[in-house]
Amino acid sequence: MKPEIEIYDTTLRDGSQGEGINFSVMDKLRIAERLDAFGVHYIEGGWPGSNPKDIEFFAEAKRRKFKRARLAAFGSTRRKGVPVESDDQVRLLLEAHTPVVTIFGKTWLLHVKEVLRTTPDENLAMIGDTVRFLKDHGKFVIYDAEHAFDGYKDNPEYALATWQAAEKAGADFVVLCDTNGGTLPGEVAAITAAARGKLNTRLGIHTHDDVGLGVANALAAVEAGATHVQGTINGYGERTGNCNLTSVIPNIAFKMKKACVPEKSLAQLRELSQFVDEIANFRHNPRQPWVGQTAFAHKGGMHVNAVQKVARSFEHIDPALVGNRRRVLVSDLAGKSNIVMKAQELGFRVTNDTPELKTILVRIKELEHEGFEFEAAEASLALLISRELQHKKPPFSVDAYHVSMRRDGLNSICEATVKVRVGEDAGHTVAEGDGPVNALDKALRQALVKFYPCLKQVVLTDYKVRILESSTGTSARTRVLIQSTDGKEEWGTVGVNDNIIEASLGALVDSLEYALSR
């Protein structure tokens, strides 16, 4: 299906300008290939005139075949007073050998006079000369009108003249950029409509999220006639980021009912979002709209009860349409429906009439009051439910433990002794570690591996400590959350106690017991 709205991804260029993001050439190539497979229409690879990494990227990219996307090189108009054919930066855009070239130019007279230090007429010539030169060399040219909205609000006639200069020279798209990210949706819609009324070329929109309106402004522009949207995966970018494509794409597809990326790709949106976060070495934001872990998470008992009956009562779409899933959270706000749906999600056969439900709900609320938190500790919750429903004895118990620390010269040595019981048998182990919890973890595992060799595969991947009621100082209650994996599945467990070692042991015991229950 021919797209009504084209998606232009600038994760590799504008997104890489975000704080903490540093893609290697191989990173950029992997993301480009994933974006192509997903079905975006343009991939902006970088600025070949700005750094050696982008030059290398384009050299590697031209050896690869993109099935859906068109690769774009990014740069600026020619320099003031320099013939376009003599401008080195423009020459490098051609040498990138991309089918698409995107250039930006000045719209705002403030920038023309105070930043470029040139005349309004020379700025118009810089825009026209560069677009015409690139078109003469067979390029598909996208003109990014920098500070389009600020420039228009300052001087509408001159802003329009810059856009018309790009159009007259043959630009295939004129893209209105909210470069400072401070324009409101009503202004974006009105100015986009004004541009639509004066230009014949197709219009695009490029927004930033400085006031939290990057996505809203892009959608306002689409409603006003823009047919090309620029943004980044997960909203990466300068300052607070760019328009987030993982929000824009489903809004265009599901809310505005306009064709953009291939329909079958939409179910891969969450996976794409997580992939780019992994490459960037960022922890995925659980609160991302549409694709975040909490996007379809239900906690309040009334909400869960309604969702159990009619999913769309509290879900604006089916989560699977964007590759996400419904999650039911269990806390002191939970009702019986939360427990039923969560237990079913964890693999237990329960209904609203299961007699143990009341006991489970009361126990969960008691533990939450003590400081337990099960939203990130589903394994501990599964064990709690299992104990009430199946009345099984635990596979092992910790009879005793001792943790000590001593100093040997400049080094601190932590040692833990653990005594476990499995049925009628007992095991006793001593281990050293980098700290008291690490030593306890090692000793516990070594003691149990003798009975359960499969626990060799289980490793701890994350350890978080939260101090509850910090006003009580060093005697404050502590909550420990542990993430574990066996290489195939990952799970979370929780422990709470006034003693951080005891809290840690509780979470460790749950982790290993859950591994055995699987």
- Indicate which CATH number applies to the domain containing 427: 3.30.160
Do 239 and 259 lie in one domain? The reply is yes
State the Cα–Cα distance between residues 489 and 458, nearest whole angstrom. 10
| 348 and 304 within one domain | yes
Same domain, 188 and 169: yes
User: What residues form DSSP beta bridges with 414?
Assistant: 405, 433
Q: Is residue 32 one of the residues assigned to a domain? A: yes
Whether 356 and 375 share a structural domain: no
Angle formed by the axes of helices 357-370 and 336-345, to 10°? 100
> What residue numbers bound the domain in which 36 lies?
6-280
Give the CATH number of the domain where residue 169 resides.
3.20.20.70
Pairing of strands 411-422, 6-9: unpaired
* CA–CA distance, 271 with 269 (Å, rounded to integer): 5
Q: Are residues 122 and 230 in the same domain?
A: yes
Q: Is residue 291 part of a domain?
A: no
Asked if the structure places residue 285 within a domain, the reply is: no
Largest separation between any pair of C-alpha atoms in the chain: 92
Q: How many domains does the chain have?
A: 4
| Residue 287 lies inside a defined structural domain of this protein | no
Looking at the structure, tell me whether residues 81 and 180 fall in a common domain: yes
Asked whether residue 140 is assigned to any structural domain, the reply reads: yes
- Asked whether residue 58 falls in the same domain as residue 199, the answer is yes
Q: Is residue 286 part of a domain?
A: no
Q: Which of 223, 252, 280 finishes a domain?
A: 280
Based on the fold, state whether residues 105 and 254 are members of the same structural domain. Answer: yes
Q: In terms of domains, do 475 and 436 share one?
A: no
Residues 88/49, Cβ–Cβ less than 8 Å = yes
Asked whether the CA dihedral 162, 164, 169, 175 is positive or negative, the reply is: positive
The reply to whether 362 and 378 lie within a common domain is no
Residue 156 lies in a domain: yes
Question: Strand, helix or coil at 283?
Answer: coil
**Considering the domain boundaries, does residue 18 fall inside one?**
yes
Each residue's pLDDT expressed in tens, for the chain with a length of 518 residues: 678 999 999 999 999 999 999 999 999 999 999 999 999 999 999 999 778 889 899 999 988 899 999 999 999 999 999 999 999 999 999 999 999 999 999 999 999 999 999 999 999 999 999 999 999 999 999 999 999 999 999 999 999 999 999 999 999 999 999 999 999 999 999 999 999 999 999 999 999 999 999 999 999 999 999 999 999 999 999 999 999 999 999 999 999 999 999 999 999 999 999 999 989 988 889 899 999 988 877 776 676 567 666 767 777 888 889 998 776 656 545 566 677 777 777 778 887 778 787 888 788 778 878 888 777 788 888 888 888 888 778 899 999 999 998 877 777 889 999 999 998 888 778 888 888 888 899 999 899 998 999 999 998 888 888 888 666 666 678 889 999 999 888 898 999 998 889 999 999 999 999 999 87
One domain, residues 315 and 272? no
CA distances (Å), 390 to each of 362, 378, 394, 423, 424, in order? 17, 17, 11, 18, 21
Whole-angstrom Cα distance, residue 424 to residue 363?
Answer: 29
**3-class state of residue 14 by DSSP:** coil
Shared domain check, 305 and 270: no
User: Which among 245, 215, 241, 195 has a CA at the least distance from the CA of 69?
Assistant: 245
- Is the pTM above the cut of 0.75? no
Q: Return phi, psi of residue 66, to 5°.
A: -100, 130
CATH code for position 462: 3.30.160.340
Contact 43/12 with Cβ under 8 angstroms?
yes
